[in-house]
Chain A
Amino acid sequence: MQAVFSTPEVMKKDFRFTFCPGCDHGIAVRLVAELIDEMNLKEKTICSTCVGCSVFLYDFLNIDCVEAPHGRACASATGVKRTNPDKFVFTYQGDGDFASIGYAESMHTAIRGEKVSAICINNTTYGMTGGQLGPTTMMGQVTTTSPFGRNKEYYGYPMKIAEQIALCDGTAFSARVALDSVPHINQAKQALRKAFEVQLEGLGFGFVEILSSCPTNWHMTPEQAHDRVKNEMIPVFPLGIFKDLTENK
């Protein structure tokens, strides 16, 4: 029998994801691993990991990693890429890390047009620390620090990361994708491929925001959490490509 679907070669042997059951992080890591295999990047990849649920990326992927201080993954990636311009450098961050604690570093990496790729997992909450209100928490959403739901008077509005990154002149590719269904997972892989390609072609900063579920902190089953992504998140955070410099080539 022929293998139709198997574990990517770049994954470590005998790994077991440290994510909660049903968390979409595992799918995002798999897509990255598949692309590293397909684009033959294993020997030249350096990852800058963040602090958060995605912190243990180096335990799953057989690549070189730099552990950045909280929120500073894009700044670390800038240093790695400038000193090793022939390497492929990407960051893997959560929304709290990318858009709140490290907002300045992330935005200025895009504004400078650094030739790195950034992946931001948006699950509308601070997952690892217990489900506090984050920059992307939706209006009305109950979290441990917004027990009556997010309201505009007290907490303001949710942040649209992919649109903001697309406004930066140094950005070559910015897109928002989701992982709630198989067609969306396939689109996510295409977007990640583009974000990797713009770096390899030297066009600028590549960015993908991935809408993900957090069943544990949303207090839902995995399927209910995916329904929430489909019915509540996607209307607030519309999917699509917001900037693509490869279109004009």
Chain B
Amino acid sequence: MAMLSVKNLGISFGGLRAVDSFNITIEKGELYGLIGPNGAGKTTAFNLLTGVYKPDSGVITLDGRNITGLSTIEINKAGIARTFQNIRLFKNMTVLDNVKIGLHNNYKYSTASGILRLPSFFKTEKLMNEKAFDILKVFDLDQEAHYLSANLPYGKQRKLEIARALATNPKMLLLDEPAAGMNPSETEELMKTITLIRKKYDVTILLIEHDMKLVAGICEKIFVLNFGMELANGRPQEVLNNPEVIKAYLGE
């Protein structure tokens, strides 16, 4: 069965139809790319999938469960985690704490046991630290665990956002331009990390990206959005050679 199935999703802002009849089916374990020119509605599509915006029409099904119209919080609990185009870290907190916030819903103890320092606090915090370091190691961030996240270099901030999203133990990971602002070698490394986490954490990935090398290099399928509508959808070679797609990117 499909991990994510979106039928006829749409939203309007005022008179503008930002996303219109958006249909996509992503199989479990797939790595899907979402591309399109600036202003095509890619991030809006992400915001619809994660409940930041409520869709005017359409149905979103995650792993057989209808999640349309749920709040961002509920959608995350249902199993979708995301990163942001403009990095949104918890800047005044350490790298480790950023990841531990991601673990919030999977490792629990009550507020009272936290204040009173009951045994469950120490036990759970220990487990959280272990898990968080596990994830940080994957992203090669474990050395910087006690740095303030705002002090990380840009590329590492992007990675930390992915680490934080993964900490919520998602079924589906949405990455919004993970390679933006990275140099070619950083991008190369990121591609490796993305393929690695897909296997290690058994997660399905949908990513928005402008770097065609990255998209063509790691995505199994590509969806092209233009003016809020589907322009092409399929295997990378077919899609990227599609004359319509080339026209949309390069103009007439």
Tell whether A pairs with B: no
